[in-house]
């Protein structure tokens, strides 16, 4: 991806120097939803309860037990500061690109803040840790990103490359657009009125796939306006979308797939919706709720 001559965003809250990489708080609801298919069968046996107890103790002691099955990463690995600063400069440039594109394409677009951290920090939605992965918090309109996630994307999910990283941020910016449009509030209200977790999960999948489509639309306009794409970039993004599909992650962590537990969509769905945005550049084509 061509980015070194691009503008860097000023909407960056860099907390890497003050992040606490050892303190642990309660995992987010999103994290719990991801690991629930692993926890649920363990609740049926005494041995399972012992395993859960040991996992909880390990988590609050500073070790992420889910890293053993490829979910989340460890924040204790040494950080190459020069590479970390380069990654921060890169992702700040990508953020600036999303600002330029969406201010032009969406009337009244308000720029979010991107928080860079290492290990853990506080967000408007509660405690944030590296194990949660990148996320958008509608309460404070900020994207939270531990740069170690990019190492995990490359090493644990076989999805390296700078454009794969750009796709991840563009997806989170997609959630910001949904927040500005009122989509997230409507979805949350609908979820609160349901007791059916499978139905809530299915609705959340639509939210995530729409964010993927928005990420593709950003890529379309960014390349059209700034000629950012190089050979292999699109393949990097598609590989990343596939690698973090629910079926891929479930198969890797538990050996089987449960579609009713999907919260982000299958690998095929994520690729298809990213492609739809990339091919059209039209967010009107991103209505996953029809």
Residue 15's closest CA among 177, 133, 123, 173? 123
Band of the pLDDT at 39, cuts 50, 70, 90? confident
Angle at alpha carbon of residue 93, lines to 277 and 76, rounded to 5°: 100
> What 3-state class would DSSP assign to 90?
helix
What is the pLDDT, as a whole number, of residue 54?
Answer: 81
Predicted TM-score of the model (pTM): 0.80
pLDDT tens column, 248-272: 999 999 999 999 999 999 999 999 9
Residue pair 184/175 in contact (Cβ under 8 Å)? The answer is yes
pLDDT at 58: 65
- Calculate mean pLDDT across residues 185-211: 92
The closest of 123, 167, 159 to 141, measured between CA atoms, is 123
Q: What is the pLDDT of residue 59?
A: 61
**pLDDT above 70 (res 219):** yes
List alpha helices for 134-182, DSSP H: 148-155, 162-181
Q: Considering only 186-195, 198-207, 278-287, which range has the smallest mean pLDDT?
A: 186-195
Give me 284's structure tokens: 């009107």
Q: What is the mean pLDDT of residues 52-57?
A: 78
The residue among 151 and 62 whose pLDDT is bigger is 151
- The confidence score (pLDDT) of residue 26 equals 54
Cα gap 191→39, rounded to integer Å: 22
102-124 pLDDT, tens digit per residue, is: 999 999 999 999 999 988 899 99
pLDDT of 123-168, one tens digit each? 999 988 888 899 999 999 999 999 889 988 999 898 999 999 999 9
Whether the per-residue pLDDT at 21 is higher than 50: the answer is no
Report pLDDT for 24: 46
Q: What is the mean pLDDT of the chain?
A: 88
| C-beta separation of 27 from 131 below 8 A | yes
Per-residue pLDDT band for 22 (boundaries 50, 70, 90) equals very low
Residue 75: predicted pLDDT: 46
Least confident of 55-59, 172-176, 191-195: 55-59
Confidence grade of residue 51 (pLDDT, cut at 50, 70, 90): confident
- What integer is the mean pLDDT of 27-49? 68
Share of the chain above pLDDT 70, in %: 86
Identify the CA nearest to 145 among candidates 168, 177, 167, 175: 168
For residue 54, what are the CA distances in angstroms to 30, 48, 65, 73? 21, 10, 9, 18
Of residues 37 and 170, more confidence is placed in 170
Mind listing the pLDDT tens digit for each residue in 74-98?
444 567 888 899 999 999 999 999 9
């Amino acid at each position: 991806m061509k980015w070194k001559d691009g503008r860097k965003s000023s909407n960056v809250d860099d907390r890497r120097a003050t992040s606490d990489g050892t303190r642990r708080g309660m995992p987010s609801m999103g994290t719990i939803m991801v690991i629930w298919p692993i926890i649920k069968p363990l609740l049926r046996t005494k041995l399972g309860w012992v395993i859960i107890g040991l996992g909880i103790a390990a988590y609050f002691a500073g070790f992420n037990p889910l890293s053993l099955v490829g979910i989340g990463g460890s924040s204790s690995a040494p950080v190459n500061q020069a590479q970390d600063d380069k990654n921060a400069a890169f992702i700040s440039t990508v953020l600036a690109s999303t600002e330029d594109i969406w201010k032009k394409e969406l009337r009244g677009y308000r720029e979010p803040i991107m928080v860079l951290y290492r290990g853990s920090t506080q967000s408007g939605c509660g405690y944030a840790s590296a194990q949660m992965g990148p996320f958008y918090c509608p309460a404070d309109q900020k994207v939270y990103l531990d740069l170690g996630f990019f190492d995990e994307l490359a090493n644990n999910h076989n999805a390296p490359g700078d454009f794969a990283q750009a796709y991840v941020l563009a997806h989170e910016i997609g959630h910001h657009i949904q927040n500005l449009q009122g989509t997230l509030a409507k979805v949350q209200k609908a979820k609160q009125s349901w007791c059916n977790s499978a139905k809530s999960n299915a609705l959340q999948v639509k939210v995530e796939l729409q964010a993927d489509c928005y990420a593709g639309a950003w890529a379309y306009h960014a390349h059209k306006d700034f000629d950012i794409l190089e050979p292999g970039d699109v393949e990097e993004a598609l590989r990343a979308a596939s690698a973090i599909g629910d079926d891929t992650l479930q198969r890797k962590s538990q050996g089987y797939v449960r579609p009713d537990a999907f919260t982000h969509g299958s690998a095929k769905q994520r690729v298809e919706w990213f492609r739809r945005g990339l091919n059209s550049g039209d967010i009107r084509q991103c209505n996953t709720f029809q």
